[in-house]
Amino acid sequence: MDATVGSSHAFEEHTSEVEVNLRASSVEALFREAALALAEVMAGREVPASTEAREPVELDATDRDALLVDWLNELLFRTETSGRLYTAVRIDRLTDRTLSAAVGAVERPEPLICVKAATLHGVRIVETPGGWTANVVLDV
Amino acid sequence: METQTHLPRDLTPPALRRLGEVEYELVASAGMRVPARVFADEVLLAQMLRDRSFRQLMNVACLPTVVDAVYGMPDMHEGYGFPVGGVAATEAPHGLISPGGIGFDINCGVRLLASTLKRTEVLPMAETLVHEFSRSIPAGMGRASDTSFDPGQMARVLEEGVPYLVRELGFGTEEDIEFVESGGCLPGGRAQLVSPHARDRGHTQLGTLGGGNHFVELQVVDAIFDADAASRLGLGLDTVTVLIHTGSRGLGHQVCTDHVRQMDRAMARHGIHVEDRQLACAPLSSVEGQAYFGAMCAAANFGFCNRHLIACLVRGVFERVVGHGGLRLVYDVAHNTAKLERYGDRILCVHRKGATRAFGPSSEELPLAYRGLGQPVLIPGSMGTASYVLLGTDRAQEISFASACHGAGRAMSRGAAKRAVTGSEVRRQLAAQGIVVRCTSNAELAEEAPLAYKDAARVVDVVHRAGIARKVARLRPIGVVKG
């Protein structure tokens, strides 16, 4: 697991979807944790980290909250089309509107939980005394 | 009749005003442009008040250009942006369109096939039928269709829908076309407006079930509430039916993702602010609005075609196992769409998110065989519980934008369901009821357990009592393949 000290994710109650609470010491770590949370939702369990992050990801958005959602949706797209689960993340550059990263994957376990998308519903990256936090609702 | 009613203190506000036997209106609060009305009895109302569905419905009522009222169906529950079971309309051409008002699974819907076979004839073959369904119909994430479509064919699917599959590729029958909502094709579909990402996600998924709460269910007509109507729909007591529930798969999901993103970026330029970014919207007449509408219609056509191809696979299984594939299409309805519909002298863009169109007997959009009868409204129950067939009424157009519920509606979170029951227990419970189950994931089985859903009979009863649609028949499951 590509764990970062102080990073965590938890699943909160939502009637129909999956709501993920993310916590990390930095925004970069928050984005890495989001990738792990998505992989766990899709696999139905924690998944082992892949070895290297080699596939480039370049994104831009109107703001950092939207960027987080775009990030998850890009990973979701790659998982659904590649047959692989993305668990290795290297953040090269992260601004309030852009992301350059590299990701690595493992062959996805069967069966996988279908995640339709990450939504903009209620997403807000917030700085706290302990670091950063955000909630994201995934449509499953 | 208006009577003020305040629910007990342990149920959270907002305050509700009772309008009728099963109709309530939220007392208006700041920012709401139209009333928010809910169809429910007191039990369903109490369930709705346990989650954020009322807040979400109120946010919808705050959207610019919404007209008349926004509605919550009796299966309403918390979603994201729009509540699931929410209905709202804006006036074309300049009213807003919101992808969140349709949802990611564009044209998720239900198709009902009926046979003349009796339960006693089919029951000995139920295990085999369900097994063959699971072998023949790709289900779950990552399972590709056995039928491939080249880019040119896919473009025609997106723009021409079911008629293309029938007339050009030979899937199904000419008769099928008439019994699909909108003839199986929304004419505004534009393939070039569907992004490469959406095509990549969807190109191997046409003819696949997907996952989550999607299913193919073998059923028996075990109750008839309106004998004449049932006869005209081809539903005989104790006969066998098949219900298919799925939508536009990854293609539709990506279309919604793409256009929520685009509209979120464009709202400021249109002077629009929304309470929830997932309600991102733009005028239907704008570049963004037209782009979404064209892509949404294309994705909806993919959804109709997806259910059509699965129906062909089901008929193939019946041919092999039973000896004939004579399953007649009763009707195919969409749950998540935005459709341009005439109400008096207005053309309204009716957003239905987890809601079913319910046109009445007077509608000229009905198949000839159903004119004077009403549009079939197909309401699937939760796994292991009954589904229902209703007929839309003319009154529905006056009170709910001709909209009914779409299912039982979730009553608890997936986490709570998995804490309450295991997938193995659900399998045992279904087996005890004589229901054959095929589902590869115990976790998903637990999430979809009947206890996670509202009482479909109660939900349907409210729709009937409200005068939106009238009950015709009840369908009991004898086998299910879950996605």
Q: Give the pLDDT of residue B176.
A: 98
pLDDT value for B411: 86
Inter-chain residue contact A80 with B141, CB threshold 8 Å: yes
Say yes or no: A54 contacts chain B, CB-CB below 8 A.
no
B140-185 pLDDT, tens digit per residue, is 887 899 889 999 999 999 999 999 999 999 999 999 999 999 999 9
Q: Checking phi first, is residue A80 left (phi over 0); if not, alpha (psi -120 to 50) or beta?
A: alpha
Report the run of H or E that residue A4 belongs to, with start and end. Answer: none
**A119 touches B at CB < 8 Å:** yes
Per-residue pLDDT tens digits for B345-383: 999 999 999 999 999 999 999 999 999 999 999 999 988
Are B304 and B180 contacting, i.e. CB atoms less than 8 angstroms apart?
yes
Partner-chain residue, chosen from A66, A77, A113, that has the shortest CB–CB distance to B141: A113
Contact between B254 and A112 using a beta-carbon 8 Å cutoff:
no
Residue contact B441–A117, C-beta within 8 A: no
> Could you count the other beta carbons within 10 Å of the beta carbon of residue B466?
23
Of the candidates B51, B197, B256, the beta carbon closest to that of A15 is on B51
With CB atoms and an 8 Å threshold, state whether A80 touches B51. Answer: no
Query: What does the pLDDT read at residue A46?
Result: 84
Is A111 in Cβ contact with B441 (below 8 Å)? yes
**Cβ contacts of A114 on chain B, cutoff 8 Å:** 140-141, 210-212, 483
Query: Do B211 and A17 make contact, defined as CB atoms within 8 angstroms?
Result: no
Select which of B245, B253, B259, B406 is catalytic.
B406
Query: In Å, how far is B232's CA from the nearest CA of chain A?
Result: 36
B253 is catalytic: no
User: Is A73–B257 a contact, with Cβ atoms under 8 angstroms apart?
Assistant: yes
Residues of A in contact with B443 (CB under 8 A): 44, 113
**CB pair distance less than 8 Å for B413 and A42:** no
pLDDT at residue number B30: 84
What ipTM does this complex have? Answer: 0.95
Q: Flag whether residue A122 sits within 8 Å of chain B, measured between CB atoms.
A: yes
Q: Is A129 exposed, middle or buried (0-12, 13-18, 19+ CB in 10 A)?
A: exposed
Partner-chain contact A15 B210, CB within 8 Å: no
Q: Which of A44, A66, A139 sits opposite B80 (nearest CB)?
A: A139
Nearest residue of A to residue B252, measured between CA atoms: A116
- Of B465, B345, B353, B268, nearest to B89 by C-alpha is B353
Instruction: State the pLDDT at residue B443.
Output: 83
pLDDT for B12 equals 47
Partner-chain residue, chosen from B80, B140, B441, that has the shortest CB–CB distance to A121: B80
List chain A pLDDT tens, one digit each, 140 residues.
344 568 999 998 888 899 999 999 999 999 999 999 999 999 988 887 666 889 999 999 999 999 999 999 999 999 999 988 999 999 999 999 999 999 999 887 777 888 999 999 999 999 999 999 999 999 99
The answer to whether B189 and B159 are in contact (CB under 8 A) is yes
Helix, strand, or coil (residue A126): strand
Residue among A70, A112, A120 minimizing CB distance to B278: A120
CA dist B172 and B396 (Å) reads 32
Q: Which positions in chain B touch A75 (Cβ < 8 Å)? A: none
pLDDT value of position A15: 80
- Hey, is the C-beta of B200 within 8 angstroms of any chain A C-beta? yes
Contacts of B411 in chain A (CB under 8 A): 15
Q: Which residues of chain B register pLDDT less than 50?
A: 1-12
Query: What are the tokens at B350?
Result: 């009716």
What was the pLDDT predicted at A47? 80
